[in-house]
């Protein structure tokens, strides 16, 4: 068993994974076999037999780490000395961490709104057109790309090569970044999009908006198609035009879906890590909570402060989850 807990090489880890899966299958098979063979077993025995292993897995994989993280947030960087609320005070009072919190709030405000707005307008424009399926496929395609993959794509889009003073324009280094090449074609100087704050945060947010707009479009398009044709026809007979139809019929009808989309994207945005880590590493004033608690925990070995930031992020996310659940239930009841 010591060998299993100290697996270092790739082959040893692979064997460990196979052993773990085999043990899981064996234990589940034994439990289900016993439950099935018990004659006239009480209902609670069946529930415990089927749900018990899953609940134990959740407790071990989620509940215990969460409680341990909360505990660690009250200790110093080495996890030995109790420091009370010092880590939380540091997170809310030091300038560098205040910038991280502010960036996270800005992300959470702008990304869901922009993504939902783009998705809604796009869904309305392509609804019932000849190219609807093709247009929706184009919009949804970024959702199939991982956050890291999307970040690398946009990092190339923002790529900057310095202009050498005194060198003729036709001898300057070629700009491989699409946006900078467009600026040169228009007669402007190339810009360091990812280094210049605070606008670099906006350019990072664009990546998230690009990814999430397809999700918003898909959900809102389904909500728009659920609007009864009779309602739209009655509004047109009353003289309602395009804008009036949008604000008086479409918007109120898809409001439950709008709320779900906004809150879902907000939860994803609060936890954004891959984009910032891949494109800037949290430097140049672009840090967010998820990236910062990773940096503090695994780069700076400051487990206490890293745990405090993780708890703060958890506290921010939980209200959104609760609100989203209530809105989904309310939407189902209305149906």
Q: Residue 4: what pLDDT?
A: 45
* Contact (CB, 8 A) for 275 and 147: yes
* Positive or negative torsion for Cα 109, 215, 324, 319: negative
Are the beta carbons of 209 and 115 closer than 8 angstroms?
yes
Buried b (16+ CB within 10 A) or exposed e, 31-46: eeeebeeeeeeeeeee
pLDDT at 254: 84
pLDDT of residue 113: 94
Closest to 288 (Cα-Cα) out of 138, 279, 15: 279
Distance CA 266, CA 216 (A): 12
Cβ-contact 327, 96 below 8 angstroms: no
Say what the pTM is: 0.80
Can you tell me whether residue 82 is helix, strand or coil? strand
How much is the pLDDT for 1? 45
Residues with pLDDT less than 70, the chain: 1-9, 41, 166-170, 172-173, 240, 331-335
Angle at 78 between CA 77 and CA 79, to 5 degrees: 95
φ/ψ of residue 82, rounded to 5: -75, 125
- Report the distance separating Cα 117 and Cα 209, nearest Å: 10
Which two tokens mark 211? 């990814």
pLDDT reported for residue 2? 47
pLDDT in tens, 7-18: 556 777 788 888
What does the pLDDT read at residue 332?
66
Non-local (6+) Cβ contacts of 50 within 8 A are: 32, 35
CB-neighbour burial class of residue 149 (10 A; exposed 0-12, middle 13-18, buried 19+)? middle
Burial class (CB in 10 A: 0-12, 13-18, 19+), 232: middle
């Amino acid at each position: 068993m010591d060998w299993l807990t100290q697996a270092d090489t790739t082959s040893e880890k692979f064997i460990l994974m196979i052993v773990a899966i085999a043990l899981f299958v064996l234990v589940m098979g034994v439990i289900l076999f016993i439950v099935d063979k018990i004659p006239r077993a009480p209902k609670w025995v069946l529930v415990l037999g089927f749900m018990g292993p899953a609940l134990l897995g959740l407790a071990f994989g989620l509940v215990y780490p969460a409680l341990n993280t909360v505990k660690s947030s009250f200790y110093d960087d080495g996890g030995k000395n109790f420091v009370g609320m010092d880590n939380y005070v540091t997170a809310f009072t030091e300038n560098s961490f205040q910038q991280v919190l502010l960036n996270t709030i800005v992300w959470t405000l702008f990304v869901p709104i922009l993504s939902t707005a783009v998705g809604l307008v796009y869904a309305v424009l392509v609804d019932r057109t000849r190219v609807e399926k093709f247009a929706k496929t184009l919009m949804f395609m970024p959702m199939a790309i991982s956050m890291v993959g999307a970040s690398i794509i946009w990092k190339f889009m923002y790529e900057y090569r310095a202009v050498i003073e005194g060198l003729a324009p036709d001898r300057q280094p070629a700009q491989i970044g699409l946006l900078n090449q467009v600026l040169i074609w228009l007669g402007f100087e190339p810009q360091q999009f990812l280094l210049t704050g605070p606008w670099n945060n906006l350019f990072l947010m664009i990546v998230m908006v690009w990814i999430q707009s397809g999700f918003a479009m898909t959900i809102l398009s389904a909500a728009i198609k659920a609007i009864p044709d009779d309602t739209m026809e009655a509004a047109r007979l009353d003289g309602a035009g395009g804008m009036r139809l949008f604000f008086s019929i479409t918007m109120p009808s898809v409001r439950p879906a709008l709320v779900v989309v906004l809150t879902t994207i907000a939860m994803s945005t609060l936890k954004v890590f891959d984009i910032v880590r891949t494109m800037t590493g949290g430097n140049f004033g672009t840090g967010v909570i998820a990236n910062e608690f990773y940096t503090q925990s695994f780069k700076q070995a400051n487990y206490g402060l890293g745990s405090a930031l993780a708890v703060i992020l958890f506290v921010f996310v939980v209200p959104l989850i609760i609100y989203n659940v209530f809105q989904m239930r309310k939407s189902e009841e209305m149906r």
